[in-house]
Chains A and B, each alone.
Chain A
Amino acid sequence: MRRSISAAMFLLCTGGVLAAADTGFAHLTGGSFRSVLKYEDVKNGTRVAPFDLQRRPVTNGDFLAFVRANPQWRRDNVARVFAEERYLQHWQGPATLGPNALPEQPVVWVSWFAANAYCKARNARLPTWSEWEFASAADETRRDARSDPAWRERILAWYSRPSNKALARAGLQAPNAWGVQDLHGLVWEWTEDYSALLVSDDNRNQGDPDKLKFCGAGALSMSDVENYAVLMRVAMLSSLNGADATANLGFRCARDSP
């Protein structure tokens, strides 16, 4: 009995800590990392420096506060070079969320420029692809669960769900081993260097990069074709321009560790 009480107390406390840290950042220690992307210039694994990553994707509620404080990012004010026509189209008004954009749902229909500006306003930045991939390799107990077929199946099962249904609230899924939630199974996410993923349409079709279009060495290939879910992300990010916005693309912020 006493044990169960202390266990309950412990759970309560943990719950309290988690709740307090909801909009906060988790610390990731970084290290040498085997990316699913194989660049010919990267010889000994990708180095990921220690960094902090937001535990949850940025929500409509978070983004509304940003837009209210920075009216140049309202959909009726934003410069067209920074965000296409569909930017925040699911909001009821330029500064109101409405039924199709609940405060706890991850924000989508955001351009890279808008996401970048949001993170800068929080004294943060968008994560790099390497950081995102490093964080997303973890399941609930292991920092790198990628070799586990069951883990891969889970991710793919999430991706096979139809995307025309309403998005779940951010933060419903169990935190991964780093304390980060929703890296899989909720929305795609912008990375700072989305435009560094040099996979052209041609390249995806033929695996033969246009040498004049892509200057220099460092051609990209996929070293882990089993990890299809992550490759889908790469293909998607590499097809985007900075002003683009889509129905299932959101973001979270990162920052260098102090």
Chain B
Amino acid sequence: MKRLATVTLGIAMLAGVAISATDEAFAAPATGTALPADSVYQLPLQLTDQAGQARDWRTRRGKPQLVAMFYTSCQYICPLIVDSGKAIEAQLTPAQRNRLGILLVSMDPKRDTPAALASVVAKRKLDTARWTLAAPPTDSVRDVAGLLGIRFRQLEDGEFNHTSALILLDADGRILGRTEQVGTRPDPEFVALVRKTVGS
């Protein structure tokens, strides 16, 4: 019984910490209003980007985002995911481009160090004013994948078997649409949705 009480107390304390941390984070975002219940930013997620900067992804609130999951040592589909982002950007005006963030979240945080992420940025000539490549903590990968509807399994050789999708978030982190058509020819309907979201 005493043990039970201690455990309950422990849980209550943990909960207290979690709640106050959450409140603090929610006070910061651009709009200053409460986060919608269907926002993926309900998940606190610390991301470490190609510059080694650690930031919660909720700081991306305020701007629509194009999000995908990838990993840098992937030979086949992940380069196509970068191609997809570029192809969608190419369909936007410069003003529209500046109103869209592109976030690629690694499913391989053990290997996707800032240096590994930065090498992709350099090789693919990505403008970091708009693009962010970042890795979550290892124990959060399944959470973010769950929110984005991405399925993956790490293979014995360290590669991944995974689904690929581009997901469009509104400024508050709500999923507006997704496409599984990756590569240099973007899905026209998805592009139309991106245009509509960032405005003309």
Q: Which of B15, B147, B153 contacts A71 (CB 8 A)?
A: B15
B contact residues around A43 at 8 Å (CB): 156
Contact B19 A214 (CB under 8 A): no
Contact, CB under 8 Å: B43 / A81: yes
Known A-B contacts A215-B76, A241-B146; the reply to A72 vs B153 at CB < 8 A is no
Is A257's beta carbon under 8 Å from chain B? no
In the complex, what residues of B have CB within 8 A of residue A39's CB?
Answer: 153, 155
Judge whether A80 is part of the interface by a CB distance below 8 angstroms: yes
A112 and B142 CA atoms in complex are apart in Å by: 10
B176 CB-CB contact with A under 8 Å: no
- Set A70, A72, A198: member contacting B151, Cβ < 8 A: A198
* B161 adjacent to chain A (CB < 8 Å): yes
CB-based contact A81/B40 at 8 Å:
yes
B42 touches A198 (CB 8 A): no
Taking a contact as CB atoms under 8 Å apart, the answer to whether B37 and A79 are in contact is: yes
On chain B, the residues within 8 Å of A198 by CB distance are 151-153, 161, 163
Interface string of A207-229 (1 = CB under 8 A from B): 00000111111110000000000
Docked Cα-Cα span, A195 to B43, in Å, equals: 18
Query: Chain A: which residue is nearest B157 at the CB level?
Result: A41
Q: Which residue of A lies closest to B9 (CB)?
A: A69
Is A121 in contact with B151, judged by CB distance below 8 angstroms?
no
Of all chain B residues, the one with the shortest Cβ separation from A199 is B151
Are B143 and A113 interface neighbours, CB within 8 A?
A: yes
Does residue A256 face the partner (Cβ distance < 8 Å to B)? Answer: no
The answer to whether A171 has its CB under 8 Å from any CB of chain B is: no
Contact, CB under 8 Å: A81 / B19 = no
Tell me the nearest residue of chain A to B162, going by C-beta. Answer: A215
User: Is B164 an interface residue, CB under 8 A from the partner?
Assistant: yes
CA distance A70 to B37 in the complex (A): 17
Indicate whether A166 reaches chain B with its CB closer than 8 angstroms: no
Contact of B146 among A71, A213, A218, A242 (CB under 8 A): A242
Complex interface residues of chain B between 138 and 154 (CB less than 8 A to chain A): 142-143, 145-147, 149-154
Best-surrounded residue of A112, A215, A218 (most CB of chain B within 10 A): A215
- A241: chain B residues within 8 A (beta carbon): 146, 149
A116-B162 contact, Cβ under 8 Å, with A215-B76, A215-B77, A217-B155: no
Q: Which B residue's beta carbon lies closest to that of A46?
A: B156
Assess the A193–B156 pair: CB atoms within 8 A.
Answer: no
| A195 x B40 contact (CB < 8 A) | no
- Residue B1 lies at the interface, judged by CB distance under 8 Å to chain A: no
CB distance A66 to B161 under 8 Å? no
Check A81 against B77 for contact (C-beta < 8 Å): no
In the bound complex, CA of A43 to CA of B155 (Å): 11
Q: Does A52 make an interface contact (CB < 8 A)?
A: no
**Which B101-144 residues sit within 8 Å CB-CB of chain A?**
142-143
Report if A131 contacts B (CB, 8 A): no
Question: A80–B37 contact, CB under 8 A?
Answer: yes
B38 CB-CB contact with A under 8 Å: yes
Check A121–B14 contact: CB distance below 8 A. Answer: yes
Contact partner of B37 (CB less than 8 A), chosen from A71, A81, A116, A193, is A81
Within B167-200, which residues are at the interface with A (CB < 8 Å)? 180, 182
**Neighbouring B residues of A218 by C-beta, 8 Å:** 153, 155, 159, 161
B74 within 8 A of A: yes
The reply to whether B37 and A216 form a contact with Cβ atoms under 8 Å apart is no
Shortest CB-to-CB span from A87 to chain B, Å, is 12
13 contacts between A and B (CB under 8 A): A43-B156, A69-B12, A70-B15, A80-B37, A81-B37, A81-B40, A81-B147, A121-B11, A198-B152, A213-B163, A215-B162, A216-B77, A238-B151
On A, residues with C-beta under 8 Å from B are 39, 41-43, 65-66, 69-72, 79-82, 112-113, 116, 121-122, 192-193, 195-198, 212-219, 238, 241-243
Top-8 shortest CB links A-B:
A242-B146, A215-B77, A196-B153, A79-B42, A69-B11, A218-B161, A80-B37, A41-B155
Given pairs A70-B18, A113-B146, A216-B159, 9 additional interface contacts (CB within 8 A): A39-B155, A71-B15, A81-B37, A122-B7, A195-B146, A198-B161, A216-B77, A218-B159, A243-B146
